[in-house]
Structure 1
Amino acid sequence: MRAARGGRWTVLASAGRADVLDLPADVGQRSLSFRFDLIDGRTGVRRGPLTPLRDTTPTLAHDITGTIVRRVSGLVLGVRDAARLNPLTDRVAISMVVGGQQRSYPLGRYMVGDATELATSSGSTVPLTFFDEMFIVDQELETGFESGGQLVDQAIQRLLEAMPIGELQVDATELTSVSAWSPGNTRGMALRDLARQGGYFLPWFNHAGRLRLMRAFEPASQPPTIDLDASRRVIRGSVARGSDLLSAPNRFVVVSNDPGEEALPVVGTYDVPSSAPHSIARRGFVLPRVVEAQLPSQVAADVYARTLGIQQTVYETVELSTPLDPRHDGYDVVRWDGVLWLETGWTMPLTAGGEMRLTLRRAYPDTGGDDL
């Protein structure tokens, strides 16, 4: 928009609409509810909402240390809903509905992982545990799989092409793989191996229900996706700090077990940033972690070592609570207490007024200091 002022045109900027999820400083909760939609896993047809029993509180947990990253526990259905659910084929899509505008935020799609039938005088109720669809992926290979020197993202597409898990969301990579997996190994293990070889964070199913593989990055060099300092939403008294820095490795070494005939071994290394308190420069000695991997080149070995080091969970950590917020997904960079953290997990009770528990790992910037 422009306005004439003194013979000149002045550009007027309009303020953007505030995000409905951002709370004013004097407000600690927001109006919200959760929706559970029953979906036929074979056709994708939505078959209507489910209503968990009112005196129960389901919990959604996201933990990157497991192959199956997301689980829903404590969801108890009444007699009618239990009769509608086919635990072998059905899926449940979960979403958070926020505010008077009834804006909906997806929280993923899940399949039944465990069910125990409880008999009552009025019928049977079902307490359920749900997994994300990595459960489908993480089954044994019937035949072997060879990456055959393909680009890693292409090998991943081929590994998963027969899986009924919907659209993949995989970042491109210039790295190749020469690895192979024999029958009896799980497809999930092959996928995690390929993720490291391609320089990806470990895979997870995101809020949209898509299998996501994101290129690994140094958290301290990224702008925060969630700023807890600006919103001041951390609940007082909820902060718990932890550290395993005394035993944390400060150098990651990857040795290729497939260097080729008459070739020197390929060795990749990654040192934690010198600003970290357990770095080589600050400790004065090396604490290595050494792994073997089947890698085709020096570049691939270096990327593997870097990716392994970035994802290492043995760092300074903090756990804290905030109001429920569906913007937390996977590998978010969070600003809190004036520094950056990589989010490695969270737990969300699926009920209005609940507190979301976050697990953050400290990000250390690379100061360019010299290591030993």
Structure 2
Amino acid sequence: MRDPLDLPSGVGQRSASYRFELVDGRTGVRRGPVTPLRDTTPSLVHDVTGIIVRRVESLTLDVADARRLRPLTDRVAISMVVGGREYPLGRYMIGDAIQLQTSTGSTAPLVLFDEMFVVDQELETGFEGSGQRVDRAVLRLLAGLPIGEVQVDWTDRTSVSSWSPGNTRGMALRDLARQGGFFLPWFNHGGRLRLMGAFEPATRRPTIDLDASQRVFRGSVARGSELLTAPNRFVVVSNDPGTDVAPIVGVYDVPSSAPHSIAQRGFVLPKVVEAQLPSQVAVDVYARTLGIQQTAYETVELSTPPDPRHDGYDVVRWDGLLWLETGWTMQLAAGGEMRHTLRRAYPDTGGDDL
């Protein structure tokens, strides 16, 4: 039986609708659907460069739904309905609510954020890694927050870092992610906070094959790169100021097949960061994770029909090559499109997956 998301070759449209439902953020009780105004087109944006990865823009509720809204406690669960099946697209909290007065009452233009907003608040007391495994330290950092289940991959990396009161929990979480060899965290379609082990995309099978489906809209492709100024070496230095021990240094070089690599450019363009890490293995992992996530390879932007199978850090095959998806924007309206940002994956990494 064909998945309703799999369009026939060359077909660029499907019948789809979107469901928006109010959920009580304290109890999880569903309070019923809401409907955006017909003359608006909400968009769901996924951007891994920010601490809050997902947001919903241009969502305006009509007068009746605006009256039902409880901005401080409500969440909005969003899903896509295709062929009678419902595909979740995450759960969002209200980050900005404005009342626009009309002759019949007030409408509510909203900006929604994923629940990283709950995480990214200032620490009231300090937090220490205490030499604990990073996956366990992450769970301890997030304990007690009303964000549901946390999905974090296992790691044998440990953390000895500390964060003082006033630092944000989101900052500590992102630091721990790099120390543990994880991609930066995001809330996925299931509404769960996800920390996935970082990997070299050129070594993975694609999760999305755009060549097989031929769903890319003609004329939508835009290529770009920052290769001219991109670092080709990432250096991490760990130096405990309380000891006389020499600093520990970890180095990650971008794959030699990349056009801006040291082998092909003939000289080093380093990016150097400091981090409090316990061992040589730890700084090596941190440097490699940093390089995988921040290296500015060739990029491409293209458009397809909306597809909820795109979530976070998907490996995409397009134009005969592998790409890592680092962002997308989905129009949440019938006939809308999905704009993707892909980063080129180069082979010859000189190492195994983290």
Shorter-chain TM range is over 0.9
Does 2:349 match 1:363?
Answer: no
Q: Which has the larger radius of gyration?
A: 1
Counterpart of 1:87 in 2: which secondary structure?
Answer: coil
1:22-41 equivalences under 5 Å are 22-41=6-25
Counterpart of 1:278 in 2: which secondary structure?
Answer: coil
Counterpart of 1:72 in 2: which secondary structure?
Answer: strand
Question: CA 1:261–1:280 in structure 2 vs 1: closer, same or farther (change >3 Å)?
Answer: same
Aligned counterpart, 2:205: 223
Aligned equivalent of 1:61, options 34, 45, 53: 45
Distance in 2 between residues matched to 1:229 and 1:26, nearest whole Å:
10
TM-score, scaled to structure 2 = 0.97
Aligned counterpart, 2:175: 193
Amino acid at match of 2:325: E
Identical columns (%): 80
Q: Which segments of 5 or more consecutive residues in structure 1 lack a partner in the other structure?
A: 1-16
Amino acid at match of 1:95: S
CA RMSD of aligned residues (A): 1.2
Aligned counterpart, 2:292: 310
Question: CA 1:216–1:368 in structure 2 vs 1: closer, same or farther (change >3 Å)?
Answer: closer
Amino acid at match of 2:30: R
Distance in 1 between residues matched to 2:128 and 2:79, nearest whole Å:
38
Amino acid at match of 2:35: T
TM-score, scaled to structure 1 = 0.93
Length, aligned pairs only:
351
Amino acid at match of 1:83: R
Distance in 2 between residues matched to 1:90 and 1:179, nearest whole Å:
35
Aligned counterpart, 1:81: 65
Distance in 2 between residues matched to 1:206 and 1:188, nearest whole Å:
16
Distance in 2 between residues matched to 1:91 and 1:116, nearest whole Å:
16
Counterpart of 2:263 in 1: which secondary structure?
Answer: helix
1:1-372 equivalences under 5 Å are 17-99=1-83, 102-258=84-240, 261-366=243-348
Q: Is the 8 A contact 2:76 2:92 kept in 1?
A: yes
Question: CA 1:26–1:242 in structure 2 vs 1: closer, same or farther (change >3 Å)?
Answer: closer
Distance in 2 between residues matched to 1:112 and 1:201, nearest whole Å:
26
1:296-355 deviations in Å (ceiling 9; x for gaps): 000000000000000015221000000110000000000000110000000001001111
Amino acid at match of 1:162: G
Distance in 2 between residues matched to 1:26 and 1:197, nearest whole Å:
43
Q: Which runs of 4+ in 1 moved over 4 A?
A: none
Q: Which segments of 5 or more consecutive residues in structure 2 lack a partner in the other structure?
A: none
Distance in 1 between residues matched to 2:212 and 2:251, nearest whole Å:
37
